[in-house]
Amino acid sequence: MNKLDDSAALPPTASRDIKTIVNAGLKRRHAAERRFRGYGLTAISLGLAFVVLMFANIIGKGYPAFWQTYIQVPVTFDPTVIDPDGRRDPKALENADYAALVRAGLRGLFPQVEGRRELRSLYGLISNNAPLTLRAQVLADPTLIGASQEIWLLASATVDTLIKGNIDRTLDESLRPVKDNELGWIDQLHASGKIQRKFNTILFSNGDSREPEQAGIRGALMGSFYTLLITLLLSFPIGVATAVYLEEFAPKNRWTDLIEVNINNLAAVPSIVFGLLGLAVFINFFGLPRSAPLVGGLVLSLMTLPVIIIAGRAALTSVPPSIREAALGMGASKLQMVGHHVLPLAMPGMLTGSIIGMARALGESAPLLMIGMVAFIVDVPRGITDPATVLPVQIYLWADLPERAFVERTSAAIMVLLGFMVLMNGLAIVLRKRFERRW
């Protein structure tokens, strides 16, 4: 009875009142929701627009770099120039004057050209690595000697730039990098089909060069590869082991708290500080070689470790305790529990964290400047102690150069770098999906 009395005590108008009260505020609430959705949509479309703009810009600028201009030159492998002794001695073949063959070929194309200056300009149409190309062909096949062949030789960067339409022909001759006579030869060659654009394999097979048409990213790519290899080999096992120890084995006390705080802080330390540390410790104290991927990898490991440890610990805590109890209840030792059950379940999260950490290391340039990986290095590194540079540093170096041909190569290198980033992040997603298990 009492309870019934209580409900009767409620004011009889309450139910009607609540309706009007709610209705009054409803419009305002819906408006707030619509506004918030509007903000979100605007932010996303703005972000997407900028991403599209950035990619359009980079691809538009970088795409031409994947094509390179070649000039077809009739070359006569004159035995009197290459091998005057007629003994086919490899040493003699190596040191022969192949530049003379190129010059002769060009003179053959334009017999009317005379005078030192004019001829110099004519020879300048072809990149200065043409003799090396010819030498390689002769050394590979000595029967060429005495024959005549039409050979596609790499054009100089100026010709390439002109063919790609990046030089304004209407400019006054004195302001133009291509003079009128050169313009005439190039047009003549173009008209007769002796100028062609081919896929730029040099970009992927050569190291850096002062001549833009001979510059490639292979040196930087290999440098990045070795550096990341060192980083992965060091930071992944150490990071995972640290995460497992801190999360599963370490006692929870003041010391482990201190370590935890420090690891979290390390993740936020500016990367250039790690570079200074590497310079002071690895190079100056331990005497490791400068500019080497070994030191670069060590420095990037220091930078990546906190990221992997934090991701690893988060992955470990997300493993349900029931699995741990099941394993311990079966009589598994703690290490067996971790090794057989917890770690496999935490692996997707750990891998994702590690790959994202590695992707960050791949894009890092500041700490590597400190340890000398910013040097101009032509040779492709063949080991972890060879001097090398890495992709982002190569981009930084090329971005500084004034030649038009380096501008497009800078963008091309950025495209390659971004490609690897996307690849690594894709790999992270694939690995996570593959190793993900339900419990």
- Contact residues: another protein, CB under 8 A: 251-252, 320, 322-333, 336, 340-341, 345, 437-439
CB nearer another protein, residue 45 or residue 336 = 336
Q: How far is the CB of 251 from another protein (least distance, A)?
A: 7
* Nearer to another protein (CB atom), residue 168 or residue 325: 325
Which residue lies nearer to another protein by CB, 42 or 322? Answer: 322
Q: How many whole angstroms separate alpha carbon 380 and alpha carbon 388? A: 7
What is d(CA 323, CA 335) in angstroms, rounded to the nearest whole number?
Answer: 14
Per the listing, tokens 């997300």 go with 318
Write the CB contacts of 274 (distance below 8 Å, at least 6 apart in sequence): 299, 300, 302, 303, 367
CB atoms within 10 A of CB 217: 26
Q: How far, in Å, are 94, 223, 299, 361, 388 from residue 303 at the CA level?
A: 47, 18, 7, 8, 20
Closer residue to another protein in complex, CB, 259/421: 259
Report the chain's terminal Cα–Cα distance, integer Å: 51
Min separation Cβ 323 and another protein, Å: 6
Q: What letter represents residue 350's amino acid?
A: M
| Contact predicate 352/436, CB 8 Å | no
| Element housing 367 (H / E) | helix 366-370
Query: CB of residue 439 vs another protein: minimum separation in angstroms?
Result: 5
Smallest distance from the beta carbon of 353 to another protein, in angstroms? 20
Q: Which is nearer to another protein, 234 or 328 (CB)?
A: 328
Q: Which amino acid, 194?
A: K
Which residue's CB is nearer to another protein, number 281 or number 323? 323
Shortest Å distance, C-beta 3 to another protein: 22
Give backbone dihedrals phi and psi of 176, rounded to 5 degrees, phi first: -95, 140
Instruction: Give the residue with the Cβ less far from another protein, 349 or 357.
Output: 349
Sign of CA pseudo-dihedral 413, 414, 416, 421: positive
* Tokens 């490609």 -> residue: 419
Confirm if 189 and 160 have CB atoms less than 8 A apart.
no
- Pick from 352, 356, 344: nearest CA to 244: 344
CB 344 to another protein: min, Å: 8
Q: CB of residue 322 vs another protein: minimum separation in angstroms? A: 4
Return the number of the residue (249 or 376) whose C-beta is nearest another protein.
Answer: 249
CB of 431 to another protein, least distance (A): 17
Other Cβ atoms less than 10 A from the Cβ of 384: the count is 18
Write the DSSP string, 264-324. Answer: HHHTTS-HHHHHHHHIIIIIIIT-PPTT-HHHHHHHHHHHHHHHHHHHHHHHHHTS-HHHH
Euclidean distance between CA atoms 328 and 341, whole angstroms:
10
Q: What is residue 420's DSSP assignment?
A: H
Q: For residues 86 and 320, which CB has a smaller minimum distance to another protein in the complex? A: 320
Minimum distance of another protein from residue 247's CB (angstroms): 13
CB of 337 to another protein, least distance (A): 10
The nearer residue to another protein, 91 or 252, going by C-beta atoms, is: 252
Q: Would you say 25 or 251 has its CB closer to another protein?
A: 251
Neighbouring CB atoms inside 10 A of 181's CB total 15
Least Å distance between CB 331 and another protein?
4
Could you tell me the smallest distance in angstroms from the CB atom of residue 338 to another protein? 13
Q: Whose Cβ is closer to another protein: residue 28's or residue 252's?
A: 252
**CA-to-CA dists, residue 385 to 177, 222, 295, 393, angstroms:** 41, 12, 8, 18
